[in-house]
Structure 1
Amino acid sequence: MTLLGADARAHPEETAAVSDGRAAFDIPRQPLHAALEQYGLRTGLPVFFDAGLVAGRESHAVQMTAAPAEALRLLLQGTGLVADYTGTGSTVAFVLKPAPAEAVAQAAGTAPDTAEAAQAAVADRSYDGLVQTRIWETFCGNPRTAPGGYRAAMRFVIDGTGRIANAFLLHTSGDRARDGAILDTLRQIRIDRAPPPDMAQPLTMLILPRSQTPGLECPARH
């Protein structure tokens, strides 16, 4: 899971705002995780996904001028995944999910258990938002880890008590002291409840600098 973002589902008008600006994309067909990172760097939109969910999947090529949401839909074409937008106001991100159970079942010629699938989807979205909120708030509350001026990637799991464990950096932030502060801060975080039992782990978190996430700021400290 790659993460940088906010705490709630976007309202339709907020989702529309994400889609307004058009940009030129030149993302070739490639492993999906690499394509998603290119997409995030191009748009500045935070990405949030389970590493296991994208493993082994290939992206669709995106070579066009398009709104971010349109480009993302094309990027995911044929992968069996779709994107849900999350966030409030300017803090908007997207979360990758399996395509709706109905569509998957139709392709396989089977009937889905829609009630069970709906319950699982609601639980996943709720927990996604909770994880985003806790990590974002905690990082913003520490001057040494507050996002804005650095880029870093780390991986961790959430144990049965909701505590973040086994955290390590995939890429350095460029500052050894800050690297240590990032890991120390992650290890102190405890999510308010345990993760859903079927949630894919480990999770991956990507933090982008302010230049690549315009409008995404920590709350002002008083």
Structure 2
Amino acid sequence: MLATLAVGVAVASSAPTAAATADPAPVYAFDWPRQPLHNALQQYSQLTGDSVLYDSGQTSGKTAPALSGRYTAREALARLLAGTDLQARYTAPQALMLMPRVLTPPAPAAAPSSADRQQYYGRLQSKVLAALCAQPDLHLGEYRIALRVNLNRAYALSDVQAHATGRPDMEPALRGTLDGLPIGAPPPGFGLPATLLITPEAARRYGGCKP
């Protein structure tokens, strides 16, 4: 598409209203309604004398906000471009091009801590052991148990799978005891479903069941 060049024209009635001695950047009075961005940029160029170069497609469908008050040329232009994806790149003190705004990518998320994951796994195992040891009928400490567990949206155990070595009759009770057990939210990067192996020795080591 053809580029549109808006060349500023000095207009006697639109002279700066601030004295140059007070501020080296002239200040202009604005009382503009909300209007198409292309029209606003043309008026801006006529008022300030700045030359604005842009592709006509860049302003198509865009609207400049109402502008009321006293601003320098650069302050006024920043307000006209606010809310658009355009920014000014000056090639001379009174000559500029409109360019797509460069967005700053979000900072990468901090890498999940392996210590946090290990701590959570320890909490998971401790809660599981405490729940199982609270049920004497399970006879925990007499056989090995392999568990595969997931978490639901409330961060409680779900989809519990249990394999009890030598005691398959205990597996339904193991699942029933653990299903719905509150655990809490895992840290970022904690893999689910999680696998736990509970031996009689592990039960004693984690402060669980008495031998």
TM-score band w.r.t. shorter chain: 0.3 to 0.5
Q: Which has the larger radius of gyration?
A: 2
Query: RCO (CA 8 Å, sep 6+): is it higher in 1 or 2?
Result: 1
More helix as a share of residues: 1
More strand as a share of residues: 2
Query: So what's the TM-score if we normalise by structure 2?
Result: 0.41
